[in-house]
Structure 1
Amino acid sequence: MVEAFLHGFVLSLGLILPLGVQNVFVFNQGAVQSSLWRAMPVVLTAAVCDTLLILLAVLGVSLVVLTFDWLETALYAVGFFFLLYMGYLTWKSTPSTEGDEAQRFTPRKQILFAASVSLFNPHAILDTIGVIGTSSLSYGGTEKWAFTLSCILVSWLWFFALSVAGRTAGRLDRSGKLLRSLNVVSACIIWAVALFMGAKLAGIVV
């Protein structure tokens, strides 16, 4: 059981570490919110969505995405347009060091965006199915649950750590220039992912 737990921990950490839209959004909200507590909606939503995807992958339910071609196409289409919009919002955001609430996402917006970038991200879903779901087939009974809980634990710890890192960066940035530069870089990353999704969507449609 220990081996299954460690396998899940290392595997999940390897999948979640690369810089992506979800990670960027959690870090950004940690940086711009007035306190760590106010960034908890995005942390909890991202962690809960990852937990759901992992459970679906292990249980085999999410294989339906690979079964129906139209569902994969719809997923890419929604993700493409949503990320274009999110990139625009991130680009025009101008973080303030004086606590301007207008520059921060409300709890509702945090939840909506975090859920969207988690559940409408075809790459995250396909990676979860193809890697975590497939790897879980090697285990059964308590070992499978140890593997699954380990993967889930990594998500919760990682998103909380990202928000703490973002909050630390926000507190150190008195001028606001660092956060503004981070928003520009984040927007470019988001648009790059959107364009990649658009290319995949065009390939699927054609």
Structure 2
Amino acid sequence: MPQIFLPLIQGFGLGASLIIAIGAQNAFVLRQGLKKQYVFLVAGLCSLCDAALILLGVGGLGAVINALPVLTLVATWGGALFLLIYGLRSFRAAFQSDKLNTHEVAGEPTRTREIMLAVLAFSLLNPHVYLDTVVLIGSVGAHYPSEERLLFALGAMLASLTWFFALAYGARWLAPLFRSPLAWRVLDCLIGCIMWFIAASLIWSVLYR
């Protein structure tokens, strides 16, 4: 294999190791895939957000964030508040059994604008996203020569693109399982728990760091 592709592969490997984890963003993508609503829009917008953050990180934004802790503090509190509210929506959805079969619950984003805002919130209001894409990937990418740095960033972006579209469109294989209202109730409770756990961890990191 040509040496020139090594940064691309290393970027893909690092990006994949960071993004393939249970989190608020992935839970939202999975749920939209199961519902078969705005699947391409959700996966594409998540990928674009990651790509922009990775480019900013490799371009040097990570150093700026480290130098201005107030940015991290604002993102932490904003992300925690958003996750608490969305987690509450998930718990409400789990107990509205009369609407489980349609998979549309009052308060859930159902229109294009609402879906886009939800994706942007999940992608940009979680400080962990900045830690992974901007700070970590950016700091690793900074060690590469300038001619290889873009290939490294491209590999990380490709990992993000592959994961989000695989998760969103692969969710349809689980669709038969979610024909049962009970399965949706369990999923919504699980998503709510994930949201609140991440929110609690963000608040803990501010109060007890």
Q: What's 2:101 paired with? A: 97
1:120 CA displacement: 1.1
Are 2:22 and 1:31 aligned?
A: no
Tell me the TM-score normalised to structure 2 length. 0.87
CA distance in 2, matches of 1:40, 1:76: 28
> What does 1:168-179 align with in structure 2 at a 5 Å threshold?
168-179=173-184
Match of 2:155 among 142, 150, 156: 150
Amino acid at match of 2:57: A
Query: Aligned letter for 1:156?
Result: L
- Aligned residue number for residue 109 of structure 1: 114
The answer to whether the 8 A contact 2:42-2:116 is kept is yes
Q: CA deviation at 1:153?
A: 0.8
Q: Summarize deviations over 1:83-111 as a string: whole Å, max 9, x none.
A: 10011112222563346586663222221
Is this contact kept in 1: 2:12–2:156, CA < 8 A?
A: yes
- Pairwise CA RMSD of aligned residues? 2.0
1:9 aligned onto 2:12: yes
1:103-142 matched pairs, under 5 angstroms: 105-142=110-147
Unaligned runs of 5+ in 2: none
Between 99-108 and 192-201, the greater mean CA deviation after superposition: 99-108
State the alpha-carbon separation in 1 of the partners of residues 12 and 157 from structure 2: 9
Does the 8 Å CA contact 1:11/1:151 hold for their aligned counterparts? yes
Residue by residue over 1:42-78, the C-alpha shift from the partner in whole angstroms, topping out at 9 and shown as x without a partner, is: 1122111101110110001243222112221111110
Instruction: Assess, with a 3 A threshold, how the Cα gap between structure 1 residues 75 and 100 changes in structure 2: closer, same or farther.
Output: closer
Equivalence for 1:40? 40
Moved more, 111-120 or 60-69: 60-69
Count how many residue pairs are aligned between Structure 1 and Structure 2: 201
Distance in 1, Cα, partners of 2:109 & 2:26: 17
Aligned to 1:53: 53
Asked whether the equivalents of residues 29 and 104 of structure 1 are also in contact (C-alpha less than 8 Å), the reply is no
Counterpart AA for 1:18: A
> In the alignment, what sits opposite 2:208?
203
Please give the alpha-carbon distance, in whole angstroms, between the structure 2 residues aligned to 1:2 and 1:9: 11
Q: 1:66 to 1:138 in 2, by over 3 A?
A: closer
**2:104–2:110: 8 Å Cα contact kept in structure 1?**
no
Structure 1 residue runs of 5 or longer lacking an equivalent are none
CA distance in 1, matches of 2:103, 2:118: 21
